[in-house]
Structure 1
Amino acid sequence: MTSIRSATEGELPAAARVLAEAFECYPWTRWAIPADGYSRRLLELQSLYLSYALDEGVVLVDEQLGGVIALLPPTAAPPSEEFQERVAQLHGDRLTVVGEVRLPPSPEGYWTLETLGVRPDRQGAGLGGALVRAGLDIASKSTLHGVALETSDERNVRLYERVGFAVTAVTTIDRGPVVYSMVCEGTEKP
């Protein structure tokens, strides 16, 4: 049985490294982040997003820090101007094309599963599914609505479908990846 718990601030650097490893070949990040300094930019972006998620939402890890998930509630405050400026700098010359992407908006009142990553040597053993189920459990305690996400890796679609998500839209980005928008409907609270 995998033990999933809330991450601490001190664990964020290790959690960001897990995400950077997991996203090294991910279609969206490969398209959205410049090749020049890609790994450094990816790690810093993951660090920024995890810090924001820890402040505004939920970051969960397993005991061995082999996987991490971050979710934001619909009430999350927008990121600071400094945060947004740094993200823009890290996207460099890709910022314009990333900014032009039009994906369907998440349903009103839904949590968003912002990121999920498992170290490559731990993938395929059920850790990703355990992290998602733990995140869904937390989200279900605060809303009747569900959780929305986007993924640009078709293998992830199957993982998310196994835990209750369904594809709601497929967006093909010109000279970019295919993005799957997915939703897991909430259940009534007792």
Structure 2
Amino acid sequence: MEIADEAVRLFVEQGVAVTTAEDIAAAAGISTRTLWRYFRSKEECARPLLAMGIDVLTERLRDYWRGGLTLAQAISAIEVPGNPFARHLETLRGLVRLSRDEPGLRAVWLEAHFDAEIVLAGLIAEGTGRSEDDLAVRLEAGMMNTALRVAVEHWALQPHEGTDPPLGTTLGEALQAITRFLDADASTDPGRKRMIHLRPMDS
């Protein structure tokens, strides 16, 4: 994560084109050889940030499915100061903004979501008692993945004036928006758990 933070900081401050692997390695306090041992390109150095974000989000959704929390409470926990990901949110904002115009970073962003879709399929299967190989589960994972990606991009691209909605709020709204699609057929199958269901405090 330290490498990812330093890489994105340098990309934002001086541009991706002029930032070298040597610059990133020096900022992170490692050798260039060590950097190349773990990353295929300088843009790949941002990947740990995205992987950590996906891990944190899936854990929040597990908390929701285990009960005791509303969807809003589970997702908003992303920004609780004690959450290790909270201090990386501004780095994430910078990375997503850069990915619009930098093909290398955009490729890393989209690859991370490709991997996330597999994780989400497993999570949906776990939460609803179905197989992750089920076509419907894979489609639901794709819908959820797209909703989350668009939500993060929407959050990151808003003018940052300190009054914009938190990331957790934006993610929660995106998930609520696709609820009717994700749970549409659950009402016809009494034995199937809903993936996302509205509870009194969810809206």
TM-score (norm 2): 0.28
Name the structure with the higher strand share. Answer: 1
Q: Which structure has the larger Rg over C-alpha atoms? A: 2
Name the structure with the higher helix share. Answer: 2
